[in-house]
Amino acid sequence: MQIETAILVGILFGCATYMILQTSFVRILFGFVILSNAANLLVLSMSGDPTGKSAPIVRDPNALMVDPLPQALILTAIVIGFGMTAYLVLLLYRLFLDQKTTNAAEMYAETEQEH
Amino acid sequence: MNWTIAPTILPILTALICLVWGQPRRARRVLVAASATLQLAVALFLVVKTYGGEAFVVGLGNWSSGLGIILVIDLLSAIMIALSTLIALASIIYGYFEMSRKVEHPLRLPLVQFLVAGINLSFSTGDLFNLFVAFEIMLIASYALLTLEADDWDIKHAFPYFAINLVGSTLFICGAGMAYALFGSLNFAEISVRAAEMSADPRVLALALLFLVIFGIKAGLFPLYFWLPNSYPTLPAPLAALYAGMLTKVGVYVLLRFFGTVMPHDLHFAHQLLAWLAGATMLLAVIGAISRNFIRGILSFHILSQIGFMVLAIGFFTPLSIAASIFYIVHHIVVKASLFLIGGVALCLNRSDNLNRMGNLWRDFPFLGILFLCQALSLAGLPPLSGFWGKYLIVVAGLDQQAYVLVGISIIASVLTLFSMLKIWNAAFWHTSDEVTVASGDKRARPMTAVVAVLASISLFIGLGAELFFSISKKAAEQTLDQSRYIELVRSYPGKGTGDR
């Protein structure tokens, strides 16, 4: 379980990095969405191997439970990540309206001459 | 009453009232100014108390330290909170004079208050994940302020700022998760206990380096600073002063807290790396400043170069150098904020802050020239101004460590700072030309200059009373490096629960 999760996290980070470095706004947006999910998955895997452990609801005091704290951290991170994604969508939309392009390379092409 | 939460909760309450109140009107402005003054008073009270040896600790929800989030205010936190509330107050008052109520954006004041709340929470928290949340409060408010009144040129430069900080936040979540897996706790005190037991473990060093990257992005360390010099100049002057004064310094504070209080003190590789990155930052950023031709652009690069000095002192990692770093932070925040505000007054008088289109300011508005000269020479480090003492202490600390190359770089950076300050002076103040008009009749210029004069006199006072400020910094450095005191403070908090997980 742990090894598979680690590989999945690695693949997700790789995909996210690749997407963010593209010039299209939509790819950048999806890159950031994947990036935040990769981070959440990484934190989830920090609660250790869940094999043989129950959900963190106390019924039998002697039963082994999954560590609930990373899950609480992820909840916070998901909420913040959601707000960030919403902001990013609006920012990119505003950039599209102003610059009449959805390509980051075109957008920054003439920046050097302006100043 | 427990005062620990006050620096965070007061700005949040003010912001909420402002949001409900809606449109900008005089009473709302008075309320925010009064609240900002109250926050400053609370912060100064905290400084006085913590200088006397007290510390303020509170467990949120009254849970004890192993179970809940702990807020701790020691002398270093109190100094930083006092500085952030001071700069916020100056920026708010200056903003009132610069911009009439009719054109003020209704969300500007609440967002400034949320920003202050986030900054103060990062200074007072004693929990790694709570620090992440504090950063997010601060960053979300700063994104919104950066794009609130932006035109299409500005918003283009807001995007890299947003993108790099989003990456930084994601890395922070990963770092917090790994710290939890490694140490079994997110509490600073508990982490420091466990990290000290396993300081030979390479994973501790790896985690420290990950956090060096995360906090380096916030502080604007080489090679992660490219986003800053383009995004800060798009802000209006009072907000630029607040950003320039405080936001990057949150990164420096966290580096101080993380390497001073949380991590074991024998991570020599990380300290060395910090020192060399700082050397690269100060040299490359000051060269960047020379390439710029408008006041806010030059000053933005200088923020980075000065960050280099503070982080260099952290990298030397002796009690003297940490004290020097804290002294430098105190000096720098006041000077940098007032320079940005001076740039704002000059912009308002010359209708431009491009050096090619400026001039005549010394002839028509000499008082502003005097203020600029004081602050610019202080930034460059000429005695007896505050910058001289900061740089002197850092150089002494460096010579103790036999880090001659780094000390040499810092002196070159200081000379180049002086050069680019003189460039502004020559072009904007000294230069006389019939083509440039100075709007001396502008009614806003005088009260705006008065706000700058107050900040400049504070910074002059720091320079002339360097002894007092250094003794405060020294005490703050002692408290920061005293891990057992910090652990004792946090563990002895009487809250609910046993503290064992």
Nearest CA in chain A to B151: A98
pLDDT of residue A74: 92
Q: What domains, with CATH codes, occur in chain A?
A: 2-50+67-107 (1.10.287.3510)
A82 touches chain B (CB under 8 A): no
Residue B475 forms part of a structural domain:
yes
In 3D, which of A80, A11, A84 has the Cα closest to residue A42?
A: A11
**What are A70-96's pLDDT values in tens digits?**
888 999 999 999 999 999 999 999 989
pLDDT of residue A110: 64
| Tally of domains in chain B | 1
Sign of the alpha-carbon torsion through B212, B217, B220, B223: positive
Residues on chain A touching B159 (C-beta within 8 angstroms): 91, 95
- Note whether A76 contacts B133, CB cutoff 8 Å: yes
Residue B43 forms part of a structural domain:
yes
Residues on chain B touching A69 (C-beta within 8 angstroms): 180, 186
CB under 8 Å to A115, separation ≥6 — which residues? B293, B294, B297
Query: From the candidates B157, B173, B214, B295, which should be mutated to test the interface with A, based on the most A CB atoms within 10 A?
Result: B173
In DSSP terms, B59 is beta-bridged to B70
Task: Report how many Cβ contacts below 8 Å link chain A to chain B.
Answer: 77
> Could you give the residue ranges of the DSSP H alpha helices within B104-247?
108-124, 128-148, 152-183, 188-197, 202-219, 228-231, 237-242
Q: B258: pLDDT confidence band, cut at 50, 70 and 90?
A: very high
**What are B34-48's pLDDT values in tens digits?**
999 999 999 999 999
In 3D, which of B490, B495, B496 has the Cα closest to residue B185?
A: B490
Q: Which residue has the tokens 């990456």?
A: B167
What is the mean pLDDT of the segment spanning B191-199?
88
Residue B499 forms part of a structural domain:
no
> Residue A111: pLDDT above 70?
no
Q: How far apart are CA B2 and CA A63, in angstroms?
A: 40
- Note whether B152 contacts A42, CB cutoff 8 Å: no
Contact B436, B363 (CB under 8 A): no
Residue B81 forms part of a structural domain:
yes
Chain B (143-162) residues lying within 8 Å, Cβ to Cβ, of chain A: 143, 147, 152-153, 155-156, 158-159, 162
Tell me which residue in B158, B159, B173 faces A43 most closely, judged by beta carbons.
B173
pLDDT of residue B499: 46
Could you give the 3-state DSSP secondary structure of residue A14?
helix
> Residue A15: pLDDT above 90?
yes
- Note whether B163 contacts A77, CB cutoff 8 Å: no
Residue B496 forms part of a structural domain:
no
Tell me what percent of chain A is helix, strand and coil, each rounded to the nearest 5: 70, 5, 30
Contact B172, B239 (CB under 8 A): no
User: What ipTM was estimated for this complex?
Assistant: 0.92
Separation of CA A54 from chain center: 27
pLDDT of residue B224: 83
Q: A115: pLDDT confidence band, cut at 50, 70 and 90?
A: very low
Residues on chain A touching B147 (C-beta within 8 angstroms): 91, 94
| C-alpha dist (Å) from residue A75 to A43, A70, B12 | 11, 9, 23
* Domain of B304, in residue numbers: 6-491
What is the mean pLDDT of the segment spanning B481-500?
81
